[in-house]
Structure 1
């Protein structure tokens, strides 16, 4: 058997969790994440098509969209690389999901509870917990305004060794981390949905067409990550250059102050330090 594909790759994740053939996988994951008082019993999965254009577009979002039996609109996105914009990005997509529910003239009461779940393969928030959920609350009393808006972050690297695998969300994150691990082999024996997900992953991994699409998507995302890393490096270099320039300026100002103290005229100070005349005059006042 060929090695298993990485379920953290958005193309693979969408095929497993966003498949109409195995809705129980998504239901299990949502119940594990949201821990609702009334369990979700059914989902209607949207945007199931994945065409070649999406695979090759590094800006495309292969997320999972669904509505639930609890009358909720859900969006799940998985991110491999920190682009430093996850909070604003998630709020933007949440607002689109929320506002697009209404057609012109429809009543606001038709708006459904809207939830974004962000699965991150990097540490992002300050909290030590691997799973964080946010709603709208009053800033002094912490009273909840509404539960209509909810945004979750699941940071895979923060899952600690020895976490309680009876928590089904921990089991799902173990599956995403390493589907071939002994932990997952044990979990798939006791949790039907984990076994179904593993079976689907094995099927995809042994399908030459699916593997080819996976490789295409992996290359596209690798190119995107390389571009992000290059931009990051340029930003660091620019920051270093700026720091050097700022350091030089501070040194020039110190020298100018010393020259002022011994009574030198402003023209001499300008020539000696390279500061603007207006800057020297400001220091002299």
Structure 2
């Protein structure tokens, strides 16, 4: 028997958490993440034609977009690899979602609460907490200006192995981390939404067409990660070379008054032309 698909791959995540067939899953996840005073009881999920979206543009962002019964606009994105721009990226999409609510001439009072939730399969922020939420606050007093925009980070690797299974956000994060774990098997016995998500994951995993699209998406994401790793490697190598070059130049400057150009070139590895420019 083949294993389950990885729910951290965005194609799978969106099929489970962004499907209008299973609104209870998203509602449960949002209530666990946002912990609202007025619990979310309904969601309208956007962009549900996932297969068409993926086939038309294989490099598109497969995030989950929804509006809640509390008139909140939600965007959930899952990231497998640290691209070192998550805060800027999330702020950009958050501001874009906020701005797009108004047509020309419409009043600002029509703007609704806008929330970005970033699920990361890597450690990113300095805090040890696996879940953090941010709003606009006064710098010294910490007084909240408004809750109309909000940003959350869920860092899966920071979830403790001793996590409290009664905490719903911990339960959902455990499901994303390892849906075949003993913890998740226990959770699906007691939590209907977890069981519903697991059943959908099993269904997808046994569907040849879904698995084929998953394999395509997983390869694209793997290639993207490989490209990022290669760029990082080249960046490090370039930095090392630049450091060596700078050190050689400093040595050459100290030798200008006591040695000829040819000898300095031999000792530092710099070209004669570079040394002449230092004089």
TM > 0.5: yes
57-66 vs 146-155, which moves further: 57-66
Encode CA deviations 1:67-115: one digit per residue, 9 max, x unaligned. Answer: 1111100000000111111110000110111000111111000000100
Structure 2: gaps of 5 or more residues: 265-271
Structure 2 residue 60 is matched with structure 1 residue 71: no
Do residues 113 (structure 1) and 79 (structure 2) align? no
C-alpha contact (below 8 Å) 2:46/2:65 kept by paired residues: yes
Equivalent-residue separation in structure 2 for 1:59 and 1:40 (angstroms): 32
Report the equivalent of 2:195: 195
Instruction: Give the number of equivalent residue pairs.
Output: 271
- Secondary structure of the 2:212 match is helix
TM-score (norm 1): 0.90
Spell out, residue by residue over 1:242-266, the C-alpha distance to the aligned partner (whole angstroms, 9 max, x if none). Answer: 111011112123334xx3xxxx6xx
CA-to-partner distance for each residue in 1:208-260, whole Å, 9 max, x for gaps?
1111111111111111112111111111111111111011112123334xx3x
Instruction: Write the mapping of 1:42-191 to structure 2, written as runs, cut at 5 A.
Output: 42-52=42-52, 54-55=54-55, 57=57, 59-191=59-191
Q: TM-score, normalised by structure 2?
A: 0.92
Measured after TM superposition, the shift of residue 51 of structure 1 is: 3.2
The 2-side partners of 1:56 and 1:122 are apart by: 29
- For 1:37, what is the secondary structure of its paired residue? coil
Equivalent position SS for 1:152? strand
> Aligned residue for 1:13?
13
Instruction: Flag structure 1 segments of 5+ consecutive residues without an equivalent.
Output: 281-285
Residues 270, 277 of structure 1: 8 Å contact kept? yes
More deviation, 136-145/247-256: 247-256
Mapped partners of 2:145, 2:124: distance in 1? 26
Q: CA deviation at 1:55?
A: 5.0
Instruction: Give distance in 1, aligned partners of 2:254 and 2:71.
Output: 66
Kindly tell me: are residues 78 and 37 of structure 1, through their superposed partners in 2, closer, same or farther at Cα, counting changes over 3 Å? same
SS in 2 for 1:77: strand
> Which residue number corresponds to residue 226 of structure 2?
226
Q: State the 1:50 CA deviation.
A: 1.4
CA contact (8 A) 2:252 2:275 kept: no
RMSD: 1.8
